[in-house]
Amino acid sequence: MDAEAHILVVDDDSQVRQLIGRFLRESGYRITGARDGREMRETIASADIDLIILDLMLPGTSGLDLCRELRITSSVPIIMLTAKGEDTDRIVGLEVGADDYLPKPFNPRELLARIRAVLRRASARHPGEPAPRGRLITFGGWTLDTLRREVTSEDGVVVDLSGGEYDVLIAFVEHPNRILSRDQLLELARNRASNAFDRSIDVQISRIRRKLESGGTSSPLIKTVRGAGYIFLPTVKRC
């Protein structure tokens, strides 16, 4: 179904717009370009758009304001692009409702991976159903913040996780108390599209355990099921 998706690229740099368009067309997408908010609105009004790639710095209305504006009426997936690359920008971008965020300059393959992941997640939802808004998820004394992509302990100490570790952890958190095979985990983590798939799932899981389980008092989180895969033990609550 990816192949038919219609992507709107909003960037004021015409060359970047054309290059992204050419690159994504090669991957089988339909592409329309827009140079600012006005053109974006016109395109949305006249065509069905499956995903918007939105630059943060635009002449006139900024990408952040456009994103906020879009979210009032639509749940169309949005990937934000920015040259700022600050972590605070990422959080602000996600807070106004973007589905993902990519700092410039980005690797084209990573953009493609994220587009695929975001589209897959969007199609997994029933049509018309809004994206899950529960930002905080708790399990076994830990709190996971889906916007900041971070985990904090009960006394508020942040645990630093790599992108790949976070993706594996969120796959577990979204499917607790179920045996997940390595392939299933890899598939779920790919949906999040972080750039570190190259390490085996086993290595990622051992790193998560080292960071979250060796705290002493906390009980084991992930149990190995011989020959089958892994199971996430704690009770998960979304709030």
Q: Where are the beta strands (DSSP E) in the chain?
A: 6-10, 30-34, 51-55, 78-82, 100-103, 136-139, 142-145, 150-152, 158-159, 179-180, 222-225, 229-232, 236-238
User: Most distant CA pair in the chain: distance in Å?
Assistant: 58
List 162, 181, 184, 224, residue binding other proteins (CB under 8 A): 162
For other proteins, which is the closer residue by CB, 13 or 69? Answer: 13
Token pair 């998820």 is found at 137
Query: 22 by DSSP, 3-state: which?
Result: helix
The interface mask with other proteins, positions 93-132, x = CB under 8 A, is: -----------xxxxxx-----------------------
CA Rg, the chain, in Å? 19
Q: Minimum Å distance from CB 5 to other proteins?
A: 19
Burial class (CB in 10 A: 0-12, 13-18, 19+), 229: middle
Q: Minimum Å distance from CB 87 to other proteins?
A: 6
Query: What residues have CB less than 8 Å from 13, skipping those under 6 apart?
Result: 55
Residue 55 corresponds to which tokens in the numbers above?
Answer: 């630059």
Q: Is 145 in the site for other proteins (CB under 8 A)?
A: no
The interface mask with other proteins, positions 207-236, x = CB under 8 A, is: x--xx--xx---------------------
Q: Is 159 in the site for other proteins (CB under 8 A)?
A: yes
Residues 67-96 that bind other proteins (CB under 8 A): 83, 85-88, 91
Q: Is 15 in the site for other proteins (CB under 8 A)?
A: yes
Q: Minimum Å distance from CB 224 to other proteins?
A: 19
Full 3-state SS string of 208-236: HHHHHCCCCCCCCCEEEECCCEEEECCCE
Q: What is the separation of C-alpha 150 from the centre of its chain, rounded to a whole number of angstroms?
A: 13
Q: Minimum Å distance from CB 83 to other proteins?
A: 4
Q: Minimum Å distance from CB 178 to other proteins?
A: 26
Q: Is 38 in the site for other proteins (CB under 8 A)?
A: no
CA–CA gap between residue 40 and residue 174 (Å, rounded) = 34
For other proteins, which is the closer residue by CB, 44 or 113? Answer: 113
List 5, 9, 20, 52, residue binding other proteins (CB under 8 A): 20
Q: Is 28 in the site for other proteins (CB under 8 A)?
A: no
For other proteins, which is the closer residue by CB, 23 or 224? Answer: 23
Burial profile 135-165: b = 16 or more Cβ within 10 angstroms, e = fewer: eebbbbebbbebebbebbeeeeeebebbebb
For binding to other proteins (CB under 8 A), which residues are involved?
A: 13, 15-16, 19-20, 22-23, 83, 85-88, 91, 104-109, 153, 155-162, 165, 196, 198-199, 207, 210-211, 214-215
